Amino acid sequence: MMQFESAPPTTGTQVQPRAPDRRGPLNPRIVDWQGRRVWLIGASSGIGEALAVELAARGARLALSARRRPALEALAQRLGSIPSILPTDVADREGLEGACRSLIANWGEIDLVIWLAGDYREMRVDSFDLTEARRLVEINLLAVYNGLDVLLPVFERQRSGGLALVSSVAGYRGLPKALAYGPGKAGLINLAESLYLDLQPRGVGVWLIDPGFVATPLTAQNAFRMPALISAEVAAREIVSGFASGGFEMHFPKRFTRWMKLLRILPERLYFRAVRAITGG
């Protein structure tokens, strides 16, 4: 069960619904990962892979999901622990349910689910592709609802646990080349906020993770210079620090994401002018 501060998980203990504490942390502060049961969905590469390595080193009990079994098996061989390998496609609701059922049978409860699955392609109006746009929105946003349909009954039964959704600062406001990617990530930000309002009083943590540019196989396709680019390993450490902070949103690297937050609150005319000047778009 998700615990505050550094206490390890305690199987079977129920947390009663509670009113938000205006003075306390927004979420449980996770500072001790030893024995914590964590399901990483989208763990085969990029941030998911780096986070699996980081959490395994901290003693977490991991389950790894993605579409590509060979990549998951190769990752499992790198880890000091023996993770559960649960290949599944997030677009397959029944596959997610089967993976979740297997985990519950093995673990009893799930302490934390980190949803990292997603895809990225540049798209502008002169390269608009309806099929590709639908696919990106399906993977980046709608597939999360498959996960919710499976996970919400688990969290309701446990009255504990937590869900972290990985979005992007590209979801803050409209950007060039993000005609399909940005709207899906914007929806994910809104979804995380809505989930927090419903789940936090039930004893379930909800986190939103908004990275800037991270060096992964997805961003490798970008032909432009990516400001404040960080490695996936640095991103993983930022996420672990974010869980320890007790906050709701994790955004990094701050030297870039704080500027994105500033742009977010500009009036429309100033925003469009600033984005065109910065991106050349």
Per-residue pLDDT of the chain (281 residues; tens, 9 = 90+): 433 333 344 443 333 445 555 678 999 999 999 999 999 999 999 999 999 999 999 999 999 999 999 999 999 999 977 899 999 999 999 999 999 999 999 999 999 999 999 999 999 999 999 999 999 999 999 999 999 999 999 999 999 999 999 999 999 999 999 999 999 999 999 999 999 999 999 999 999 999 999 988 887 777 777 888 999 999 999 999 999 999 999 999 999 999 999 999 999 999 999 999 988 87
**Contact (CB, 8 A) for 252 and 212:** yes
Q: All domains of the chain, ordered by start, with CATH?
A: 37-279 (3.40.50.720)
Report which of 57, 44, 43, 185 is spatially closest to residue 114, judged by C-alpha positions.
43
Q: What pLDDT does 281 receive?
A: 73
What's CA 128's distance to the chain center, in Å? 27
Phi-psi region of 253 (alpha: psi -120 to 50; beta: other; left: phi over 0): beta
User: 218 near 46, Cβ under 8 Å?
Assistant: yes
- Asked if residue 65 lies in contact with residue 113, where contact means CB atoms within 8 angstroms, the answer is no
**Helix, strand, coil fractions of the chain, as percent rounded to 5:** 50, 15, 40
Q: Say how far apart CA 13 and CA 101 lie, in whole Å.
A: 20
